[in-house]
Amino acid sequence: MKIYRVDISDKKEFLKKLNVDSGGISIIADKMELYHIYIKDIKTPAVNILKQDALSVGAEVAAPKSVITCENEYSECLLIGTKKHLKRLSRKCATQPFGLKEVAKSLETYIQEKHFNTKIMGVLNINEDSFYSGSRVGSEEAIEVIKHLIDEGAAIVDIGAVSSRPNATKVSDKEEFERVVELLDEIDDKRLYERAVFSIDSYTPSVVEHALKSGFGIINDITGASDDALIELAIKYKAKLCIMHMQGTPQDMQKNPHYDDVMSEVSDFFEARIAKCEALGLSREDIILDVGIGFGKSLEHNLTLLVNLSHFKKFGCQLLIGASRKSIIDAIYPSSVEQRLPGTLAIHLKALQNGANIIRCHDVAEHRQALDVWELIKE
């Protein structure tokens, strides 16, 4: 007899290899994944009810000692349970007072999480101002660079003509268009969009529309403003819209960024933007979310978002992460932009583990190798 502990990422695949009966795979898989749900600003009586209901289905609630005597009107707690526990507990909470019906709705969103294929997004900057010189190319060499990125394993190529680094110089809509229009037309002429999905890193409607006409499939809106024009363009051209969270603008975003609760504020931001998109007719299947690492966030804010990234899976949208060679790495381990590839890979692999499925990076070949190895050993 041999006994050893195993860490299983793909539960259903492991059970299939174990030759478990097909009818039992989903049932058993639901019992294998443990969730930790942090609930803040919940009415104290609700915590006591939740704890009793959780225990009745086999789950657990960790809460402050003060909830027993209801010293405070509001409290916090940690719910611990499997997907099976959450399903049963959600039904119980739906009949309870003190705001527990809202808890039930939230639990349902975690139960119904979707899974997406992992994709690498290669970065191409048609400007001379982006923070990493290795991503900057002139329009005359861009086509060859694009082909190289695709050959290295980029499923998506993200092209931008304006730098969004901290304190970046503002560029007029006219200049942005002039920088990128010839490349967009050449991508169309050579039908390169048949080899990969192309993303336009812009929030300028005229630039975005020209890109979509040229065969692009993603609008990468770093402002996250998602104004009506961009949403309507996404619908018109059947494109996906990437909504990124940024506090402030590139010119001032890193001047003492502050949040009372970064997780709640970013989550509320996405909830409002998704509601707006859906109201105009863009479905969640066509929305990509990006928490905006380094965009109006301190090291602590960035780490909090990365560690708790799985929270955002509840929206049912694809999740993009882009920490490639960013200053978050320098804040952890002092290094120049050119020295930050190892830190980049570490962050991106952790992000994949926590729910991201699109990795935006400068070093496609290195990420392809890391992801191929990670996909094999994570089982």
Q: Do 132 and 237 sit in the same domain of this protein?
A: yes
Q: Do 197 and 242 sit in the same domain of this protein?
A: yes
CB count within 10 Å of CB 28 equals: 16
Query: Could you give the percent of the chain with pLDDT greater than 70?
Result: 93
What distance in Å separates the CA atoms of residue 359 and residue 340, rounded to the nearest whole number?
Answer: 16
CA-CA-CA-CA torsion sign (272, 277, 278, 282): negative
Strands (E), 44-173: 60-62, 74-82, 119-125, 156-160
Local confidence band at 131 (pLDDT 50, 70, 90 cut-offs): low
Enter the pTM of the model.
0.87
Q: Do 91 and 163 sit in the same domain of this protein?
A: no
Residue 326 has pLDDT above 70, yes or no: yes
Alpha-carbon dihedral of residues 27, 31, 35, 40, nearest 10 degrees?
80
Across the chain, mean pLDDT equals 90
What distance in Å separates the CA atoms of residue 244 and residue 147, rounded to the nearest whole number?
Answer: 27
Domain membership of residue 294 (yes or no) is yes
On whether the CB atoms of residues 212 and 239 are closer than 8 A, the answer is yes
What distance in Å separates the CA atoms of residue 351 and residue 355, rounded to the nearest whole number?
Answer: 6
Q: Write the pLDDT tens digit of every residue in 222-246.
A: 888 767 899 999 999 999 999 999 8
- What is the model's pLDDT at position 138? 63
Examine the residue annotation and report whether 276 is marked as an active-site residue of this protein. no
Name the domain boundary from 70, 86, 111.
111
Name the domain boundary from 63, 85, 111.
111
Domain membership of residue 5 (yes or no) is no
Domain membership of residue 2 (yes or no) is no
Catalytic residue among 83, 119, 326, 340: 326
Catalytic residue among 51, 273, 314, 360: 360
- The segment with the largest mean pLDDT, out of 2-6, 66-70, 182-186, 286-290, is 286-290
Top-confidence residue, 247 or 155: 155
Local confidence band at 136 (pLDDT 50, 70, 90 cut-offs): low
Local confidence band at 343 (pLDDT 50, 70, 90 cut-offs): very high
CATH of the domain at 92: 3.30.1370
Domain membership of residue 1 (yes or no) is no
Q: 164-203 b/e with 16+ CB inside 10 Å = b? A: bbbebeebeeeebbebbbebbeebbeeebeeebbbbbbbb
- Residue range 12-20: mean pLDDT, rounded: 86
Q: Do 180 and 100 sit in the same domain of this protein?
A: no
Q: Do 148 and 66 sit in the same domain of this protein?
A: no
What distance in Å separates the CA atoms of residue 291 and residue 245, rounded to the nearest whole number?
Answer: 5
- Residue range 91-110: mean pLDDT, rounded: 94
- What is the model's pLDDT at position 113? 79
Top-confidence residue, 249 or 306: 306
- What is the model's pLDDT at position 125? 87
Q: What is the DSSP string of 255-317?
A: SS---S-HHHHHHHHHHHHHHHHHHHT--GGGEEEE--TTSS--HHHHHHHHHTGGGGGGG-S
Q: Do 103 and 186 sit in the same domain of this protein?
A: no
Name the domain boundary from 72, 89, 111.
111
Domain membership of residue 6 (yes or no) is no
Q: Would strands 119-125 and 156-160 be described as parallel, antiparallel, or unpaired?
A: parallel
Q: Return the structure tokens found at 199.
A: 């993303």
Q: Do 73 and 176 sit in the same domain of this protein?
A: no
- Residue range 122-151: mean pLDDT, rounded: 78
Q: Do 66 and 142 sit in the same domain of this protein?
A: no
* Least confident segment among 25-29, 154-158, 329-333: 25-29
Examine the residue annotation and report whether 297 is marked as an active-site residue of this protein. no
On whether the CB atoms of residues 250 and 168 are closer than 8 A, the answer is yes
Instruction: Print the domain residue range for 16.
Output: 11-111
Q: Write the pLDDT tens digit of every residue in 60-69.
A: 999 999 998 9
SS3 32: helix
In the chain, the amino acid numbered 369 is: Q
Domain membership of residue 254 (yes or no) is yes
Q: 55-86 b/e with 16+ CB inside 10 Å = b? A: eebebebebeeebeeeeeeebbbebebbbbbb
Q: Do 324 and 187 sit in the same domain of this protein?
A: yes
Domain membership of residue 3 (yes or no) is no
Q: Do 97 and 129 sit in the same domain of this protein?
A: no
What distance in Å separates the CA atoms of residue 165 and residue 337, rounded to the nearest whole number?
Answer: 13
Residue 254 has pLDDT above 90, yes or no: no
Q: Do 42 and 134 sit in the same domain of this protein?
A: no
Q: Do 203 and 140 sit in the same domain of this protein?
A: yes
User: Looking at the 3D structure of the chain, how many domains does it have?
Assistant: 2
CA atoms lying within 13 Å on the CB side of residue 311: 21
Domain membership of residue 242 (yes or no) is yes
CATH of the domain at 189: 3.20.20.20
